[in-house]
Chain A
Amino acid sequence: MQRIDTQPTHEYQGYRICPGQPFPFGASLVPGGVNFSVFSRNASYCVLVLFEKGAREPLVEIPFRGMFQKAFSNEPVWGEFRIGNVFNMTVLDLDHEAIEYGFRMDSGQPRAAAGQPAFHRFDPSVVLMDPYARAIGGRDVWGQKPDWQAPYPHRSRVAFADFDWEGDRPLEIPLEDLVVYEMHVRGFTRHPSAGLDETVAGTYAGLREKIPYLKKLGVNCVELMPVYEFDEFEHSRWDEQQGRWTKMNYWGYSTVGFFSPKAGYAATGRTQDGTMVADELKNLVKELHRNGIEVILDVVFNHTAEGNEQGPTISYRGIDNATYYMLTPEGHYYNFSGTGNTLNCNNPIVRDMVIDALRYWASQYHIDGFRFDLASILSRDQWGGPMANPPLLEALAFDPILGKCKLIAEAWDAGGLYQVGSFPAYGRWAEWNGKYRDTLRRFLKGDPGESGAMSQAVQGSPHLYYGRSPTASINFFTCHDGFCLADMVSYNDKHNEANGEGNGDGANDNASWNCGWEGPTEDVSILSLRERQMKNAMAMLLVSQGVPMILMGDEFGQSKQGNNNTYCHDNEINWLDWSLKQRNADYHRFVRNMIAFRHAHPVLRSKDHLRNTDYVGSGYSDISWHGTRAWQPDWGGRVLAFMLCGRHAKGGMSEDDYIYVAMNMYWDALPFEIPRLPEGSRWHVSVNTGMPTPQDIFEPGSEPELADQGNCLAGGRSVLILVGRSAGP
Chain B
Amino acid sequence: MGFSISVEGGQGEATIKLVGELDAAAAPQFKEAIEKLAVDKPQRLILHMDQLEFMASAGLRVLIFARQKMGADVSLYVIGSRGPVLNTLKMSGFHHSVYLQDTYAPE
- Residues of chain A whose beta carbon lies under 8 Å from any beta carbon of chain B: 95, 97-98, 160, 162-164, 166, 199-200, 203, 205, 208, 266-268, 271-273, 275-276, 279-280, 282-284, 286-287
* B64 interface contact, C-beta 8 A: yes
Alpha-carbon separation in the docked complex, A489 to B13 (Å) = 64
Alpha-carbon separation in the docked complex, A633 to B84 (Å) = 65
Alpha-carbon separation in the docked complex, A208 to B60 (Å) = 20
* B96 interface contact, C-beta 8 A: yes
Stretch from B32-40, B43-51, B86-94, B99-107 forming part of the interface with A: B86-94
What chain A residues lie within 8 Å of B24 (beta carbons)?
95, 97-98
Q: How far is the CB of B14 from chain A (nearest CB, A)?
A: 19
Chain B: interface residue total (CB-CB under 8 A) = 20
* B58 interface contact, C-beta 8 A: yes
Point out the residue from B58, B90, B97 that lies within 8 Å of A205, measured CB to CB.
Answer: B90
Point out the residue from B57, B91, B94, B97 that lies within 8 Å of A275, measured CB to CB.
Answer: B57
- Residues of chain B whose beta carbon lies under 8 Å from any beta carbon of chain A: 24, 56-58, 60-61, 64-65, 67-68, 84, 87-88, 90-94, 96-97
8 pairs across A/B with beta carbons < 8 Å?
A: A95-B24, A97-B24, A166-B97, A205-B90, A266-B91, A267-B87, A282-B93, A286-B93
Q: How far is the CB of A588 from chain B (nearest CB, A)?
A: 29
Q: How far is the CB of B98 from chain A (nearest CB, A)?
A: 10
Residue in B closest to A282 when the chains form the complex, CB atoms: B93
Point out the residue from B56, B64, B84, B88 that lies within 8 Å of A164, measured CB to CB.
Answer: B64
Point out the residue from B61, B87, B93 that lies within 8 Å of A160, measured CB to CB.
Answer: B61
A267 and B91 contact, CB distance less than 8 A: yes
Alpha-carbon separation in the docked complex, A216 to B93 (Å) = 22
9 tightest A-B CB contacts, nearest first: A283-B93, A275-B57, A279-B92, A205-B91, A272-B57, A267-B91, A276-B92, A268-B91, A162-B64
Residue in B closest to A205 when the chains form the complex, CB atoms: B91
Q: How far is the CB of A95 from chain B (nearest CB, A)?
A: 7
Point out the residue from A272, A273, A280 that lies within 8 Å of B93, measured CB to CB.
Answer: A280
Alpha-carbon separation in the docked complex, A384 to B65 (Å) = 49
Point out the residue from B67, B88, B96 that lies within 8 Å of A272, measured CB to CB.
Answer: B88
What chain B residues lie within 8 Å of A279 (beta carbons)?
60, 92-94
A97 and B58 contact, CB distance less than 8 A: yes
| Supplied contacts A95-B24, A98-B24, A166-B96, 4 more A-B pairs, CB within 8 Å | A271-B88, A272-B56, A273-B56, A276-B60
Q: How far is the CB of A99 from chain B (nearest CB, A)?
A: 12
Q: How far is the CB of A354 from chain B (nearest CB, A)?
A: 29
Q: How far is the CB of B25 from chain A (nearest CB, A)?
A: 10
What chain B residues lie within 8 Å of A164 (beta carbons)?
64, 67-68, 94, 97
Q: How far is the CB of B69 from chain A (nearest CB, A)?
A: 11
What chain A residues lie within 8 Å of B87 (beta carbons)?
199, 267, 271
What chain B residues lie within 8 Å of A273 (beta carbons)?
56-57
Residue in A closest to B54 when the chains form the complex, CB atoms: A271
A276 and B91 contact, CB distance less than 8 A: yes
What chain A residues lie within 8 Å of B92 (beta carbons)?
268, 276, 279-280, 283
Alpha-carbon separation in the docked complex, A267 to B93 (Å) = 12
Q: How far is the CB of A558 from chain B (nearest CB, A)?
A: 27
Q: How far is the CB of A158 from chain B (nearest CB, A)?
A: 12
Alpha-carbon separation in the docked complex, A199 to B24 (Å) = 23
Q: How far is the CB of A96 from chain B (nearest CB, A)?
A: 11
What chain B residues lie within 8 Å of A280 (beta carbons)?
91-93
What chain A residues lie within 8 Å of B90 (beta carbons)?
205
